[in-house]
Chains A and B, each alone.
Chain A
Amino acid sequence: MNASRAVEIAKARSSRLGSSQYSGRAHTLLERSFLAFRNSAWLAVLSGFMEPVLYLFSFGYGLGHLIGSVHVPGGHSVSYAMYIAPGLLATSAMNGAIYDSTWNVFFKLKHDRVYQGMLQTSLGPLDVALGEMLWSLLRGFAYAVGFMCVVVPMGLIQSWWGALAIPAAVLIAFGFASVGMGITSCFKSYQQMDFINIVMLPMFLFSGSFYPLTVYPGYVQGVIKSLPLWQAIDLVRNLTLGIISRGEIYHVLYFAAMIAIGLTVTTKRLTKLFLR
């Protein structure tokens, strides 16, 4: 019997460890996302880019006039726009990743049954999980580059370390996408999706995008510091202001853990849902 090409391709991988979980074709999910993006999703991406820029103009310049400058660790002070720009960059990386990995994922999971379609081919659940997260990560990268194109000419980035804010945004997007998809894959109804909004909005408002955490009492600071958005903002802000310490390693590890946990949960859930 002449095996078809599809069979030959699957056979060639079959002896590898984890071949039923991962076929090495996560990039085909990127291809799919790109096709969908070309058809219609570009509007959502554009709005994701606009959001931090509008916040920057409104708060940075409007409110910035009243506030003047902000004291930062290291003993110097920076303009208010300079202070909030990294916070907005980190937030936009988060928002893009969360939007993709929650609402979009839920829709593809339940309504369009896109993942069911994918998993009836020789793709594995890890291909699907990784492929979707890679797209969020690319989106985080695009937002970061776009935002930098606005803030660098405005003189809001003080240090060459600031160039690392772009890979940092990618890492942040990956972490949020991973956990977002993991949580979403456990949700059963649209109503449960509101849970995400309940978490996201306060996190955005209180994680130190707009003012230093020192305004809070100690225990509140502790709580906020354990949240992923503060981890993200502190990392990006230290980079753009050039105040680098060993603490950045912990931020990176925090996001590495988010990625690992999210990927594991998502893969397990997709397996349970479509390959029990």
Chain B
Amino acid sequence: MTNTTNASREVLIKATGLRKSYEDFVAVNGIDFEVFKGESFGFLGPNGAGKSTTMRIIAATLTRSGGELTILGKDPQSNGPEIKAHLGVVPQADNLDNALTVEENLYIYGRYFGLPKNFIREKIEELLDFAQLMDKRSVKVEALSGGMKRRLTIARALVSEPEILMLDEPTTGLDPQARHILWDRLFRLKEQGVTLLITTHYMDEAEQLCDRIMVMDKGSIMAEDSPAGLIKKYSTREVLEVRFGSDRNYVVAPQLEVMADRIEVLPDRILLYAENGEALLHEMNEKGLHPVTSLVRRSSLEDVFLRLTGRTLVE
């Protein structure tokens, strides 16, 4: 989705100059963004970028220090309970109720919103099915695997039929299979028209799940676009990764610099940005530079992040 069509779309969340500061540091440093109805919007950045803080301010569980924020036209600071009823929250660390079973967790969470018992009971069947936890309904939460817990947390957030589902690092700590199951569930929600707000420090997750991404670092927005748009804007089509051995990397770097659009020298490897990686490798070999290993790949959001901040995403 490009920015040109945004004018006609319904804005669900609008932040202007949003700021959160503590006594000794600034967590969110005056950011502007809009989230549109039905889209999947991602905050991408390393730990400490201010993603979770932004999420908590939106979720009305943290007050902002400055700037404006409206969610469905209302300020979360003065309409906390109402905003919370619009949102489904999946926090970074599970906060399921360990004293209760899977089914009871869904039930009581609906009760917290004041929903009638019959309404919740019907909803539970639908959500257990969605979360693929039908056969675990009477099991205590403690006994679930990490992936199941996360699916239950998502199902729990859906009890109140929220318009916006907020997921803070949804797949951190999950094994690859559990991640893919989770992504599949989130795709289904998106198809049903639920607006997704996701923070992640995994570029593959951001590429998979998000229509639009806001790259954050140290409390500020570095860039904002679709995954493909970001790559197009801030990187080349392909990347050639070469290793000359950790001592030689720095020695050959000046020679490589003139050959590629841009290079990044990392401690263990050198990244060369070019439209055609294979051609570049060929050119290198002709000049008598023979790396120990080489790899040509497509540019990713990792490269975008590296370009924008000079650092890798997962450190």
Contacts and interface: CB of A to CB of B under 8 A. Distances in A.
A32 B100 contact: yes
A6 B116 CA distance: 10
Interface string A249-276: 0000000000000000000000000111
Interface string B146-161: 0000000000000011
A7 B95 contact: no
Nearest to B96: A117
Contacts of A183: none
B163 interface: yes
Contacts of B112: 25, 28, 118, 121-123
A9 B163 CA distance: 15
Looking at chain A's contact residues, is the secondary structure mostly helix, strand, loop, or mixed? helix
Interface string A188-232: 000000000000000000000000000000000000000000000
A36 B115 CA distance: 20
B62 interface: yes
B91 interface: yes
Contacts, number: 120
B81 A20 contact: yes
Interface stretch (B43-51, B101-109, B171-179, B254-262): B101-109
B33 interface: no
B113 to A, nearest CB: 4
Interface residues of A, number: 37
Nearest to A117: B95
A261 B300 CA distance: 56
Contact of A11 (B82, B99, B163): B82
B162 interface: yes
B237 interface: no
Q: What 3 A-B pairs come out closest when comparing CB atoms?
A: A6-B160, A36-B99, A113-B95
Given A31-B111, A36-B99, A120-B61, 9 more contacts: A5-B119, A9-B113, A28-B111, A32-B97, A35-B100, A40-B99, A116-B95, A122-B84, A276-B63
Interface of A: 1, 4-7, 9-11, 13-14, 19-20, 23, 25, 28, 31-32, 35-36, 39-41, 112-114, 116-124, 274-276
